[in-house]
Structure formats: C-alpha cells, structure tokens
Amino acid sequence: MRPAPLAFALVFTLGASCRCTRSVSRQIVSAVRGDPAAVAAPDSDGPTVGGCAVLPPDDPWNTDVSNAPRHPRSDAIIANIAAHGPSRLHADFGSLARYGIPYRTVSRTQEGVAVTFDEYGDESDPGPYPIPLDSPIEHGRDHHVIVVQQGTCKLFELYHARRTPTGWRAGSGAVFDLDGSTRRPRGWTSTDQAGMPILPGLARYGEVGRGAIRHALRVTFDHTQAGWIAPANHPGGVGDPDAPPMGMRLRLKRSFDVSRFQGQTRVILEALRRYGLMTADTGTNWYISGAPDPRWDPDDLDALAEVPGSAFEAVDTGPVEHR
C-alpha cells in the first residue's frame, strides 16, 4: 500500500504535554501558536484523541528511544535509503484539503454500518463499523478513512474506502483498542502495509500547538525489506537486508543542530530526537505523515527539507521477523 496525496478534514485533535523540562517546553510553546480548545490537559500522560489515550504509555509508538541502542547496520541502512530516492525529510501533510490523512471522532452511540471487503478481506476485522457516510476520505490512491469512537476508545480504520448506499466498501479494515495492544495475527496487514494502526503515527496540530509531540511519527520509504520488526506485523517489499523493514525506528541524531529551526518544524524535530520515525509503508523516501489542519504553516513545514536523511540513525528495537 503506497501513500499518495492526501485529504483534508476539520477534526478535534487532542494533544499532549512535553516530557522534557518545563523551561524547554515553554521555549517551544512560545514559538508556536497555541491551540487551547483542541489539546489535552497540561499534565496528560500521553497523546489523546477524543478523550481517549492513544495507546498505553509503554506502547512502542509512545516509547522514548533517545537512549535506545544504535542499530549495528545503521550506516548501511541509511545509505540504502539514499540510494533509492530522495534523502531529505518531507511533511506529507499541511493546511490544504489534499495534504494529510484525515480522521474524526464519533460518539459512543454512533450507529454501525456494513463494510464489505475485497483485496484483504481475509485479514480484515468484520463490521459493522461506526463510520458515518460523510466521514472524510484521504485523497490519492490509498483512500484511508479513520474514526475514533469516544467512550469505547476504539479505533476504526479503512483502506481503499468507497461509500456505498448503505455503508462502505474497502480493501481492508482494522479495529484497535486504544487502551491495549495493537498487534494483529502474525503476518496480517492492517490498513497500512506494516500491519500497524495509522492514527498513532500522525503529526497532529493540537500537539504541535501545545509544544510537544510525544510519540513516533509514521514514515515511508521507497525500498523496504521483506520483513518486519515489532510492533509491525507484515513485511515490506524486497529481500534486501539493508533496506528498512516495516516497524524499523529511525532517530534524529543528537549531533544534528536543531537550534536554527523554529515554530512547528522545531517541535517536530524535537519529537524525532526522542521518539523517532516508524517505518509503516512503502512510498516516497522520508515522507512524514500527519493530519491536515488549516493552522499548519506551509512555509514553516517546508524547513523540514533542510534535514537530510544522513542526520538520522537506525535504532535497534528488536529482531527482523519474516513470514
């Protein structure tokens, strides 16, 4: 499943506070526009959406990897990425309708509708799904639809989604309990190639407006390995041991100077030092995923292109698994 130009929706995104020192947090917040109506309480323990924690604090998506061991083949992996496409960061989200993976929240009482699966029906969670027919669909090829149900704190995601008169038709669908584990049966995909949920890896403006992203961000690479590292559960594309496998974590090096960056880009880079990137799909190199929001500053986000792939290192978070 390759990423594509994406869609816009106004969503209520609840952010989180920074685990770094209060002085650093204040410096970052002062550089970014606040978002008091769409963020979590200052002492929140982690990212939230719709009043639901987005996975437990010890979930891999929310785990600080700033002190995790460097992968022994880090140099070869970074060089392999550079040999197969662009080698600079890119924000694959923004303020316009076609940039970003949209999501929405619904109430506990939202009625479920039927979903018919085709491409990956045997690896999909059956419906009904509480996804209203007016839910935003990602632009481009992948056509993701993402909904968080308040109260139950369940996450519903669709891939290749199309509306029908009575519900939805999709290539695949996955349901996750946001208060528990997101691992699917071994070898299963989800609505992302890696078999992981998409929502936990999105950059959301509410978090950035608050001053800190406290989770890893979803990233794609053009040349991916036919294997995976937990929490991924489904392989990438080729039998190249130096290509990044699904679930591989990449961290911004401590030696890379972020002091010249400001605003939204600075907050994102601070997160990439702590939580890094999680390889989730085969697509354009170094494309970081986020939810669309009119408050993103395109000129600010363009500064991410000043960060080369060589500023990153692969993190050793576990062995590569294969089918």
Q: State the residue range of the domain holding 293.
A: 22-315
49-94 confidence digits (pLDDT tens):
999 999 999 999 999 999 999 999 999 999 999 999 999 999 999 9
Contacts of 260 (CB under 8 A, 6+ apart): none
How many domains in the chain? 1
Task: Evaluate if residue 21 carries a pLDDT over 80.
Answer: no
> Structure pTM?
0.86
What does the pLDDT look like over 89-106, one tens digit per residue? Answer: 999 999 997 899 999 999
* Structure confidence at residue 14 (pLDDT): 31
- Residue 259 pLDDT > 60: yes
Residue 5 pLDDT: 35
Q: pLDDT band for position 46 (50/70/90)?
A: confident
Q: Tell me if 201 is assigned to some domain.
A: yes
Q: Give residue for tokens 């090096």.
A: 253
pLDDT at 45: 61
pLDDT tens string 122-163? 999 999 999 999 999 999 999 999 999 999 999 999 999 999
Task: Calculate mean pLDDT across residues 217-227.
Answer: 98
* Residue 23 pLDDT exceeds 60: no
Structure confidence at residue 37 (pLDDT): 28
- Exposure b/e, 204-238, CB count within 10 A at least 16 = b: bbbbbbbbbbbbbbbbbbbbbbbbbbebbbbbbee
Q: Is the pLDDT of residue 182 over 70?
A: yes
In a domain, 75, yes or no: yes
Q: Per-residue pLDDT for 40 more than 60?
A: no
SS (H, E, C) the chain: CCCCCCCCCCCCCCCCCCCCCHHHHHHHHHCCCCCHHHCCCCCCCCCEECCEECCCCCCHHHCCCCCCCECCCHHHHHHHHHCCCCCECEEECCCCCCCCCCCEEECCCCCCEEEEECCCHHHCCCCCECCCCCCCCCCCCCCCEEEEECCCCEEEEEECCEECCCEEEECEEEEEECCCCCCCCCCCCCCCCCCCCCHHHCECHHHHHHCCCCCCEEEEECCCEEEECCCCCCCCCECCCCCCEECCEEEECCCCCCCCCCHHHHHHHHHHHHCCEEEEEECCCCEEEECCCCCCCHHHHHHHHHCEHHHEEEECCCCCECC
Q: Is residue 144 part of a domain?
A: yes
Per-residue pLDDT, averaged over 258-286, amounts to 98
Q: What is the rounded distance in angstroms from the CA atom of residue 300 to the CA atom of residue 267?
A: 11
pLDDT score for 97: 79
Residue 8 placed within a domain: no
Structure confidence by residue, pLDDT tens digits, 196-212: 999 999 999 999 999 99
239-247 average pLDDT score: 97
Q: How confident is the model at residue 119 (pLDDT cuts 50, 70, 90)?
A: very high
pLDDT above 60 (res 3):
no
> Which phi and psi angles does 169 have, rounded to 5°?
-120, 140
Tell me, what's the pLDDT at 33?
Answer: 33
Q: Is a pLDDT exceeding 50 seen at residue 27?
A: no
- Whole-angstrom Cα distance, residue 162 to residue 118? 11
| Lowest-pLDDT choice from 2-6, 24-28, 92-96, 215-219 | 24-28
pLDDT of residue 2: 39
Residue 43 has pLDDT above 80, yes or no: no
Q: Average the pLDDT over 283-309 and give the result.
A: 97
Question: What value does the mean pLDDT of the chain take?
Answer: 88
In the structure encoding, which two tokens stand for residue 318, read together? 């576990």
Residue in 227, 195, 220 with CA at minimum distance from that of residue 283: 220
